[in-house]
């Protein structure tokens, strides 16, 4: 009797076990497929975000380049307009003399101060430091003016 009971229970279980195993297998496969779909969706979303940000960056760079080109054209137009004579003789003469006069005054003040320091008229180390700084600034200003003028005049020649 006990043997019959065990064989009946074993028969029932052996009929249900393959279905249970199949269900477990299908559940695992479905969960793996859902995980795969979720990761695929997440990767697609991230790729789309990167593409959008790259396009935004590209349009931003294009806009900046357009602004730079417009600013450059505006500056060249301003410099060209400033170089044109006004037609009023004394204003044109004043505009023509202001840079050389300013440079001459600076050179004279510099030479007087340097001679006074060199020949011992002033024995102040702070004055010597100021003269050294002024000398460096004078060289930098002269070089800046020369190269700035040459670059603008070079642009005028290239535009013509």
Domain boundaries, the chain: 17-84, 88-160
**Number of residues in the chain:** 160
pLDDT at residue 68 in the model: 92
pLDDT averaged over 10-residue windows placed end to end, the chain, 160 residues: 65 74 89 93 92 92 92 86 80 81 82 74 66 75 72 60
- Which strand (E) or helix (H) includes residue 88? none
pLDDT at residue 93 in the model: 84
Q: Strand, helix or coil at 113?
A: helix
Joined tokens for residue 98 = 């202001």
Taken in order 132, 134, 136, 138, the sign of the CA dihedral is negative
């Amino acid at each position: 009797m006990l043997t019959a009971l065990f064989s009946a229970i074993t028969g029932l279980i052996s009929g249900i076990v393959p279905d249970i195993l199949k269900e477990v297998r299908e559940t695992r496969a479905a969960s793996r497929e859902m995980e795969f779909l979720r990761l695929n969706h997440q990767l697609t979303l991230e790729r789309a975000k990167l593409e959008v940000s790259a396009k935004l960056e590209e349009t931003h760079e294009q806009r900046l380049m357009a602004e730079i080109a417009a600013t450059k054209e505006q500056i060249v137009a301003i410099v060209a307009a400033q170089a044109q004579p006004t037609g009023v003789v004394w204003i044109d003469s004043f505009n023509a003399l202001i840079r050389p006069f300013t440079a001459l005054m600076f050179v004279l003040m510099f030479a007087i101060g340097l001679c006074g320091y060199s020949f011992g008229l002033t024995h102040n180390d702070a004055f010597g430091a100021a003269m050294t700084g002024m000398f460096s600034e004078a060289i930098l200003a002269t070089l800046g003016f020369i190269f700035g003028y040459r670059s603008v005049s070079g642009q005028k020649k290239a535009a013509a």
